Chain A
């Protein structure tokens, strides 16, 4: 499973990098290739290119906020999950999303 995603929170200081790291780590553990972009107070960190986006199986948005440059994800299944949930249970989030994407196909 190849996953790209974006995390963002109102202040962009703590939740944003925490969620991104938690998801990437959980991905490694369960054998998913996860790349998370952080849209926090420092702008876009670890930016996802259009090519990477289009090669992914789904897009995970760890935020309930506005995400910049959503157009690069066009045509991909996009899933939104609350950011604190992603910090608390990144593994379960990834597994559930993967399952939901498979069912949708």
Chain B
């Protein structure tokens, strides 16, 4: 069972890996026309849907971005299914994801559909034995037929209503949460800590994923906290190498320069080499920094009325953008000051003893 879950996580991560470029491209195409409109003093593009002229053009471009965001479930489900059972499963996965969107079963529905499609193909491959002369029919006819059939029956007929009820309830709950003050703060703290915890690992990606799922439901606020927290760890170590030069070896000072860029465009992974020096102490510090930064951003009242863009420059997509920047700086300064106090980064990681022994390492044959 444990093996199944770790495999399932791998498939989900593969799907997310394929979805990343889609969602980043699409959300930028949604945001840029809106930003241009905002600079021209236009608050919303919706009134220009039926008109002509410059703002109508912006509206049309913006709608293309939304089409991309509408594909999120489809692409996710398709590539999760592909990860499980290769080519024959991908079509059924796409269909399942699209059905999840149209029946409002959402992200949850897409994931279930993807696993149904993938594992149906896998099961058929193992259990259906055809005479050799008919083998060619397996990948082209039999496998796609069964996979799509199972998706159609389960997702289209049986689970459509209950899943859509669960998803709608979940979305309403989160909507309410992003409107009330106290739960908003909790949300910021939790998301901020998650983002800064494993920097690009599964916890970070689940928080990021949650933000993007909500984006497709037109809930933007959580993404403000996520984007803010993403910039914090790399920025923090970049600042730290400047203010506490004596605590960093030369190779870390170099890595610090790269982290200015990582922080600017919003890539948490930049902080990994620093954190690995003493993960047991630095991960909690990173998490506090991320949570603190997101919370300050929340308390100062940063609000998103359009889909927020990540990175430092993302503040232009947020009303009270300064709150976003102040929060980010507070979180980053916390880590930048505390981290070199508890850990000495002068160690030469090149020759350092490895912390894991051979017995601690899990390997598995395929």
Please, how many angstroms separate the alpha-carbon atoms of A12 and B200 in the complex? 10
Please, how many angstroms separate the alpha-carbon atoms of A92 and B363 in the complex? 11
Which residues of chain B (1-45) have a CB below 8 Å from chain A?
6-7, 9-11, 13-14, 16-17, 20-21
CB of B361 within 8 A of CB of A81, answer yes
CB distance from A9 to the nearest CB of B (A): 7
Q: Which 3 A-B pairs have the closest CB atoms?
A: A14-B269, A64-B10, A89-B356
Please, how many angstroms separate the alpha-carbon atoms of A63 and B20 in the complex? 17
CB of A79 within 8 A of CB of B17, answer no
Interface residue? B364 (CB, 8 A): yes
CB of A88 within 8 A of CB of B354, answer yes
Task: Using CB atoms, name the residue of chain A closest to B198.
Answer: A84
Pick the contact of A84: B13, B82, B201 (CB < 8 A): B201
CB of B200 within 8 A of CB of A64, answer no
Please, how many angstroms separate the alpha-carbon atoms of A84 and B365 in the complex? 18
CB distance from B115 to the nearest CB of A (A): 14
Which residues of chain B (313-364) have a CB below 8 Å from chain A?
354-358, 360-364
Pick the contact of A81: B200, B272, B362 (CB < 8 A): B362
Task: Using CB atoms, name the residue of chain B closest to A86.
Answer: B361
Number of A residues, CB within 8 Å of B = 36
Interface residue? A65 (CB, 8 A): yes
Please, how many angstroms separate the alpha-carbon atoms of A78 and B364 in the complex? 8
CB of A18 within 8 A of CB of B272, answer yes
Binding site for B on A (CB under 8 A): 8-15, 18, 41, 61, 63-66, 77-82, 84-85, 87-93, 95-97, 99-100, 104
Interface residue? B257 (CB, 8 A): no
Please, how many angstroms separate the alpha-carbon atoms of A14 and B270 in the complex? 7
- Residues in B neighbouring A14, C-beta threshold 8 A: 200, 267, 269-270, 272
A-B CB contact pairs (8 Å), 17 listed: A9-B200, A10-B17, A10-B200, A12-B17, A14-B269, A18-B272, A41-B21, A65-B14, A65-B17, A66-B11, A85-B361, A85-B362, A92-B357, A95-B358, A100-B363, A100-B365, A104-B365
Please, how many angstroms separate the alpha-carbon atoms of A24 and B133 in the complex? 46
Task: Using CB atoms, name the residue of chain A closest to B17.
Answer: A10
